[in-house]
Amino acid sequence: MKSVLITGGTGTFGRAFAKECLQTGVERIVIYSRDEQKQEDMARELAGFDQLKTLRFFIGDVRDENRLRMAMRGIDTVVHAAALKIVPACEYNPIEAVSTNIVGAEHVIRSAIDNGVRNVVALSTDKAVEPVNLYGATKLTAERLFIAANHLSGSPGKPDATRFSIVRYGNVAGSRGSVIPLFKRMHANGETLPITDPRMTRFWISIGDAVLFVMRALNDMRGGEIFIPKMRSFRVADLADAIDPVDQYSLQGVPIASDRKVIGIRPGEKLHETLITSHDTPRLYDDALGRQFIIFPEWISINGKLSDFTYSSDTNPDWLSTDEIRKMI
């Protein structure tokens, strides 16, 4: 990987991925995003690196195919992280969500093929699995577009064609989409932390682990795979207790703080994160050494060994305790 373009490059993932690229000797990094103030802030944050030689900032939107195609000139690797991600906002602005998450994905695909980009990895989410809201539906569609793009580029038969793969995981701990910053702000203001449901569970992945996982996927990909990291689960109620410890009682068989307010699940929100369903098992490979699962595309012959397997945060055997969560945050 000599040159990389990151869409949504000023987000939590994009900033961390750019730092890793700078430290590993990538020759050219293009940050593609639409907020000039965030680009200015990121430039200051990375001021210690030789930016004039390596780092480039392009103001642009994935909805603008011409601008995107221009930004990809001379690029060999694309990481597509740009998306509208806030579930209520997507529900209220459905056309905007479709324009960014679906039409924007199409623009990334065409621009990459036209510029002869070598590898494209698109970041996806648990919400694309059996979606119950518009955001999840747009991300599921985007996944299918990127996998099918291998046929547009000819990558299943041509080794030098543009290859497209997916990395799928849930919310990154501490990112803007995570509840952790909200809980910390509320705790600092002396507010009691609410939870939506005492049974709610999530997967845990740090931003550093997410970056390294995408790096590895870029190295391992052949085109059409969905890479899913093996992660630990946690209860959102335990996260609240790790930040704001209080006395507990049992509700629906789950320990919960005695003065914790239960506000109910928001529209479009799931109780648990699911990253793999039983429908994926015929094409599912369990890479135990790499601590990952890989869902292979239909054109790769594989006999999945896992029968009726699902990978969900509530049935995952590997859990974080409240004390472990407290140390990690």
Q: Report the catalytic residues.
A: 127
- Backbone angles phi and psi of 115, in degrees to 5: -95, 0
Radius of gyration of the chain (CA): 20
Rounded CA-CA distance 42/233 in Å is 31
Contact 220, 26 (CB under 8 A): no
With both helix axes pointing from N to C terminus, report the angle between 36-45 and 12-23 in degrees, rounded to the nearest 10. Answer: 40
Contact 149, 129 (CB under 8 A): no
Choose among 241, 238, 172: nearest CA to 203: 172
Structure token digits, residue 265:
């699940």
Give CA–CA dist 325/239, Å, rounded.
7
Torsions phi, psi for 267 (to 5 deg) = -55, 130
Distance of alpha carbon 32 from alpha carbon 57, whole angstroms: 6
How far, in Å, CA of 96 to CA of 91, rounded?
A: 10
**CB neighbours of 168 closer than 8 A, spacing ≥ 6?**
124, 125, 126, 128, 129, 143, 226, 227, 228, 275
d(CA 227, CA 234): 21
CA dist., res. 241 & res. 273, Å (int): 20
- CB 254, CB 182: distance < 8 Å: no
